[in-house]
């Protein structure tokens, strides 16, 4: 539910309304202070609320229910695009698409510094690398842990790129937040509300990956968990759904690009695409990246390795730095056409 | 299985090999006469064949098994792109993408002629329109039948566009082939081998839509049915799979664009995309069309109506002719970038 | 839409109403003559009909719209269970479950007669066997065709079992109807409305398999096609959906047993289960058959071969006649418990 | 990888082998002390291990690799059924199926005590109830938290039933373990390896629900996480996959009963079925429960409420205590038949 204050509402009136709600209902509050108006969002079970009464409070222009299951993340609540600034890299709205690149796993100092240097000169904006790997099998490489985080922070600093890495569980939240600029919640954790809320409280930008079985509403619902904690800096990321075509699968997942224009219609949050996990194949990454940009994505997150054949994980889907350069320049050309034309 | 003849093989040697196979095995034959070499493909159960013996026949360079389930449609059998020419419109290979447009159903002479005029001036290449509609419910509009076909042929002629329409069942094959330039086999019929073979024998180009639950191998396997009948003019068309994201669905189907680069890797056939049925939403058609072109599609098939709100079927997904014009011009700009860059 | 006539309505009144509709609307008619009342169902687009007027016609008790997409197949139209009698074998309602068994493909006279004898003594009710096989690849065994149909009819006669076989395409309908007692429409053809209608006009019982991507509504919608042709003897058959669990698949399809109680709630048609195609594994057939019976299925259709390891198709999923005997006796025990208890 | 010790191997030899591995490799160890033999399982990346060398160690009969991705949970590692005893209730192997029942959410003392009394007299073995609810929306009822746990423990004690409740996040593990007898990991958390490991270290039985998009291998892989922590008391639970049938969905999820016989083939762990979440419909719970038992399930977990229409969550899928009684008695009858016959 949303309370829209009059453009002429005073500080006192706004405070009065907020206090009134806190006193009378078991609800939390989110406030958007716009250029002209303040909007107050209510968080929790709305059935308890008497709408008509609220509209009688001083300074209130209108109170209305938002029909979608997600509310704080909806364009009906907050109409302007939300742009996230990470150390000068702007993500969202009509900013040019950004490119997040780096290896699947951080394997060693040499590996990471070399890749960081090469993706920087290929045009990447943000450095990625996994330190705590979510793995299906207890018998696989599980990542370097905190040592990996240190290497990531250092490589980002040396090459002037903000960094992103995954937080796999609640016990690692504070540690990862000490090192990385963007905290990633992986696809397997998209439904993990406790983790999302815990990460949101670090007040750093969050990248929330869509689970491979999640509907679009669910992606928005769980991003709402972060906003309800007071952190609106959420980047959504499509990385493919369970493939349904019968028989042999030619890709790891199925990239659902419709999510890109849908997000722009339904929400104000930025949305990017990860073609590496979606396809699982190096030879499809370029085509699917260009398709994502043509569909309007705010960015691409792609796995890059200087020696994919020697990688400890995800080798078959990582591209080389030279391929990244071509991907970025063609993407930016397409972006300029889309923008000019639309 | 494939028999590659020597570049120096004579007509007689080729005929000898073909006759030898026909005499000794229960197999059909497909022949590709290239610029330098002739290739002979075998159709049927290959287990009966003695490979080593075949390599001893006069003029034979090599005989080898193709490992994929599809064979005649594979790039290992026929490496050059296959370009289909429909009354001067070239589809496939490095030809510029083509645009097939028109209403879901042919409703009346006035409707069709008006739409035909408008899409022609918007830049469309081929006119589409349904006369025999495959419908889930016996209680819905089923199409105008042969009268619709006549209207389609006439509208195509008046505006200088080849035409395409769906053949829904075996009993309509000859009738539809009398009127239309391209015979469409709908998604629901992709597994209908008898229909595919019957349509193929009309020796007109075929557009084969991927079933919404079909794996990529299956799409190729069933296109192989047409080629085995001697008709290689098959255009593949992606139109979306069953959506798997949990909960409320925001699109009718889920567009699987990876099929576009995959087809170009695995086969020589052209592949186009239908964003209208895939999304079921007018407001997503432009984005998904541009994405398809950026992914390398050989064309777009899109439903267009001058008054979508009055359409007898599929109203919510049809775009207006003015939107088509914008879609085509932006697509062609993206195409030029992809081509220049790649 | 449904017109319920008064219990006192005369023959003339009923005829009057039917003729009135035929004269005034472009609709077909289905009539159910019950013990007490006659019900008239309308087939086609209902929007044209003036409900209130119809209720004024002589002998009409009530006219109402059926809300589900399927109408003629709905329990709101026809409340009593429909029992189908095939040469004395009763299928549906509270009849005991029936067992359809036989090989995937008819391979030879010896093979079929031997299997028929063995399944008969194991307790099977109906003999199955494929003559026209729907195959993904043009390079696989395609079935014996009409010769297979002759063998099937003969084996059924010798062992006193009605027979069932698949009609793969429209051109085979009449030929298959000459030989078999039940005409099967395979999963791949569930959406083939022309085939369903053509088969229905043979006035023999139909077994309609659910497509592996079809929702329950669609299964009912397409069975409605047969009923609209005047043939209510339709047996629905669940045989598994596209598996969605990520990664390696342990079964060919995923059996959706909820369809069994759902059918009994929503419709009056019998519903059976095919565990052989659903699982693709001999070692799962027994468990899934018992589960189907416990869920209330009206029968089981199972592939049986005396030498599965030598079968020309589907070897890994066929069970042996001795296993069939155990399956049938345990099923009947469970059936008696369900019935007694429910 | 598995090391099988000779039946004659001494304590010292076994200790020697274990120490040898710990000294030389970065691996953890799991030991099964059987009646005749000791088996040593290795946990971690196996590529480092020299097999042939291990076979030369004293007391070693054989060392071999397990081919499946899961190892410790595999029947090739541990062939006998694992039976879990929870305060006298035996789950698994050939024990009779057990019935876990109770409300979706614990709402109040009165509600829970009343339901507990009624399900106990209906024949239930274990009491369930949610205190920390995983919810899609931040705007829904989130559960009573620790107060709910206290009520659950007390109700279990009063009525002599062990209890089960969900642990939603890592920060609640210890608190929940203080109160409940079985710790449930919900479907949304199946991929949450940190949570599984943290729960496993409480040394209480775990119920691991299959994620609605998880393949069977993944379910086993994540149960392996618990076993690798030294806790083998894992009950697997099937509760439905994302429904794939096109169009309107008649059930919330699609129950995949093939998992029941599959688990018994591949593993030694008990497997139960939750028909309430799988169907989301009270009118399907009985049929699907009986089907699960007929397929061989070790138990049923079902939501029961004395006033489903007043429940704060999941009302439409909860059955009444009287329906539970019928479900249990019919299930036990079927179970006896299956056992006798198989």
Per-residue pLDDT of D250-288, as tens digits, reads 999 999 999 999 999 999 999 999 999 999 999 999 999
* Tokens matching residue A255: 């990239």
Closest CA relative to residue A185, chosen from A205, A209, A163, A164: A209
The 10 Å CB-count burial string (b at 16+, else e) for A56-71 is: ebebbeebeebebbbb
Closest CA relative to residue A72, chosen from A38, A94, A96, A41: A41
Residue B112 backbone dihedrals phi, psi, to 5 degrees: -70, -45
B interface mutation test: which of A265, A295, A326, A340 has the most B CBs within 10 A? A295
Contact C133, C156 (CB under 8 A): no
Closest CA relative to residue B208, chosen from B227, B188, B223, B195: B223
- DSSP per position, B239-277: --B---SSSS-SSSSB--TTHHHHHHHHBSS-EEE-HHH
- Tell me the shortest Cα–Cα distance from A288 to chain B, in angstroms: 6
> What are the beta bridge partners of residue A206?
A183, A234
User: Degrees (nearest 5) of the Cα angle A307, A312, A313?
Assistant: 100
- Tell me the shortest Cα–Cα distance from A195 to chain D, in angstroms: 8
Report which of residues B302 and D4 the model is more confident about: B302
| Interface B:C, Cβ pairs < 8 A | 96
- What share of residues in chain A are helix, strand, coil (percent, to 5)? 40, 20, 40
pLDDT band for position A340 (cuts 50, 70, 90): low
**Other CB atoms closer than 10 Å to residue C320's CB: what's the count?**
16
Q: Hey, is C57 helix, strand or coil?
A: coil
- Evaluate if residue A180 carries a pLDDT over 60: yes
pLDDT in tens, C52-81: 888 889 999 988 888 788 888 999 888 899
The residues, ordered by sequence, that sit 6+ positions from C47 with a Cβ below 8 Å of its Cβ are: none
C interface mutation test: which of D67, D255, D258 has the most C CBs within 10 A? D258
List of domains in chain C: 2-64 (3.30.70.1140), 84-341 (3.20.20.70)
Contact A93, A270 (CB under 8 A): yes
In chain D, what residues touch A44 (CB-CB under 8 Å)?
A: 138-139
pLDDT in tens, D60-101: 998 888 878 888 899 988 889 999 999 999 999 999 999 999
> What are the beta bridge partners of residue A4?
A39, A62
pLDDT band for position A99 (cuts 50, 70, 90): very high
Tokens 């929702």 correspond to: C215
- Tell me the shortest Cα–Cα distance from B197 to chain C, in angstroms: 11
C interface mutation test: which of D123, D245, D251, D283 has the most C CBs within 10 A? D245
> What is residue C340's predicted lDDT score, i.e. its pLDDT?
65
pLDDT band for position A342 (cuts 50, 70, 90): very low
**Which residue among A43, A71, A168 sits closest to D194, beta carbon to beta carbon?**
A168
Radius of gyration of chain C (CA): 21
Q: Kindly determine whether residue C290 and residue D215, on different chains, have CB atoms separated by under 8 Å.
A: no
Closest CA relative to residue A305, chosen from A126, A100, A102, A120: A102
Closest CA relative to residue A80, chosen from A35, A28, A14: A35
**CA separation for the pair A292, B292 (Å, rounded):** 9
Q: What proportion of chain A, given as a percentage, has pLDDT over 70?
A: 99
CA distances from A335 to A178, A295, A332 (A): 34, 9, 5
* Tokens matching residue B133: 């509609």
Chain D CA closest to residue A45: D139
> Does the structure's ipTM exceed the value 0.85?
yes
Residue C236 backbone dihedrals phi, psi, to 5 degrees: -85, 150
* Tokens matching residue C211: 């497509």
pLDDT in tens, C264-273: 999 999 999 9
**CA separation for the pair B311, B278 (Å, rounded):** 18
Q: Kindly determine whether residue A216 and residue B245, on different chains, have CB atoms separated by under 8 Å.
A: yes
Model pTM score = 0.91
* Tokens matching residue A246: 């019968």
Sheet containing B38-43: which strands, arranged edge to edge? B28-33, B38-43, B2-5, B60-64
- Tell me the shortest Cα–Cα distance from B99 to chain D, in angstroms: 29
- Average the pLDDT over C231-246 and give the result: 95
The 10 Å CB-count burial string (b at 16+, else e) for A8-36 is: ebeeebbebbeeebeeebebebbebeeee
> What are the beta bridge partners of residue C302?
C101
Contact A40, A230 (CB under 8 A): no
**Which residue among C212, C213, C244 sits closest to A242, beta carbon to beta carbon?**
C244
Chain A CA closest to residue B262: A284
Counting as low any pLDDT under 50, the low residues of chain B are 341-342
Q: Kindly determine whether residue C244 and residue A246, on different chains, have CB atoms separated by under 8 Å.
A: no
DSSP state at residue C70 = -
**CA separation for the pair C181, D252 (Å, rounded):** 38
In chain D, what residues touch A171 (CB-CB under 8 Å)?
A: 170, 194, 198
Q: Tell me whether residue B23 is exposed, middle or buried, using C-beta atoms within 10 angstroms of its C-beta: 0 to 12, 13 to 18, 19 or more.
A: exposed
In chain C, what residues touch D250 (CB-CB under 8 Å)?
A: 215-217, 258, 262
Report which of residues C305 and C53 the model is more confident about: C305
> What is residue B143's predicted lDDT score, i.e. its pLDDT?
85
Contact D224, D255 (CB under 8 A): no
Alpha helices in A61-103 (DSSP H): none
In chain B, what is the greatest distance between 2 CA atoms, to the nearest angstrom? Answer: 67
Contact B1, B66 (CB under 8 A): yes
pLDDT in tens, B302-336: 999 999 888 888 888 999 999 999 999 999 999 99
Chain C CA closest to residue A243: C244
Radius of gyration of chain D (CA): 21
Q: Kindly determine whether residue D291 and residue C295, on different chains, have CB atoms separated by under 8 Å.
A: yes
pLDDT in tens, D160-193: 999 999 999 999 999 999 999 999 999 999 999 9
**Other CB atoms closer than 10 Å to residue A315's CB: what's the count?**
15
- Evaluate if residue A41 carries a pLDDT over 60: yes
- Average the pLDDT over C159-181 and give the result: 96
Q: What is the mean pLDDT of chain D?
A: 92
- DSSP per position, D169-194: SGGGHHHHHHH-SEEEE-GGGTT-HH
- Evaluate if residue C140 carries a pLDDT over 80: no
> What is residue D157's predicted lDDT score, i.e. its pLDDT?
97
CA distances from A254 to A213, B125, B255, C215 (A): 11, 30, 9, 21
> What is residue D342's predicted lDDT score, i.e. its pLDDT?
47
Q: Tell me whether residue B330 is exposed, middle or buried, using C-beta atoms within 10 angstroms of its C-beta: 0 to 12, 13 to 18, 19 or more.
A: buried
Contact C39, C72 (CB under 8 A): no
**CA separation for the pair A243, D331 (Å, rounded):** 36
Residue D184 backbone dihedrals phi, psi, to 5 degrees: -95, 135
pLDDT band for position D224 (cuts 50, 70, 90): very high
pLDDT band for position A1 (cuts 50, 70, 90): confident
- Evaluate if residue C195 carries a pLDDT over 90: yes
Interface of A with C (CB under 8 A): 212-213, 242, 244, 246
pLDDT band for position A83 (cuts 50, 70, 90): very high
**Other CB atoms closer than 10 Å to residue B1's CB: what's the count?**
20
Sheet containing D60-64: which strands, arranged edge to edge? D28-33, D38-43, D2-5, D60-64
Sign of the alpha-carbon torsion through D102, D104, D108, D110: negative
In chain C, what residues touch B143 (CB-CB under 8 Å)?
A: none
Closest CA relative to residue D300, chosen from D330, D323, D331, D268: D331
């Amino acid at each position: 539910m949303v309370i829209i204050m009059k453009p002429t509402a005073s500080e006192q009136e706004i405070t009065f309304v907020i206090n009134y709600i806190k006193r009378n209902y078991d609800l939390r509050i989110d406030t958007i202070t716009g250029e002209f108006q303040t909007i107050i969002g209510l968080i929790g079970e709305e059935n308890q609320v008497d709408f008509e009464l609220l509209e009688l409070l001083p300074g209130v222009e209108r109170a209305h229910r938002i029909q979608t299951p997600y509310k704080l993340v909806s364009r009906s609540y907050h109409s302007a695009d939300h742009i996230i600034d990470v150390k000068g890299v702007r993500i969202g709205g009509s900013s040019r698409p950004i490119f997040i690149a780096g290896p699947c796993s951080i394997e060693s100092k040499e590996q990471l510094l070399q890749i960081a240097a090469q993706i920087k000169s290929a045009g990447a904006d943000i450095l990625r690398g996994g330190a705590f790997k979510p793995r299906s099998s207890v018998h696989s490489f599980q990542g370097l842990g905190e040592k990996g985080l240190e290497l990531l922070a250092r490589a980002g600093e040396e090459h002037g790129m903000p960094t992103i890495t995954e937080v796999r569980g609640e016990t690692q939240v504070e540690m990862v937040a000490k090192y990385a600029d963007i905290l990633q919640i992986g696809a397997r954790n998209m439904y993990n509300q406790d983790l999302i809320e815990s990460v949101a409280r670090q007040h750093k930008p969050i990248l929330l990956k869509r689970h491979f079985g999640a509907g679009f509403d669910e992606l928005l619902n769980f991003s709402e968990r972060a906003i309800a904690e007071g952190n609106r800096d959420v980047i959504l990321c499509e990385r493919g759904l369970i493939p349904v075509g019968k028989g042999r699968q030619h890709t790891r997942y199925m990239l659902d690009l419709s999510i890109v224009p849908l997000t722009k219609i339904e929400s104000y949050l930025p949305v990017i695409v990860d073609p590496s996990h979606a396809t699982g194949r190096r030879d499809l990454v370029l085509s699917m990246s260009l398709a994502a940009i043509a569909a309007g994505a705010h960015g691409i997150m792609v796995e890059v390795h200087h020696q994919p054949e020697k990688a400890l994980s995800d080798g078959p889907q990582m591209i080389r730095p030279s391929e990244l350069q071509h991907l970025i320049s063609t993407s930016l050309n397409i972006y300029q056409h889309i923008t000019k034309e639309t």
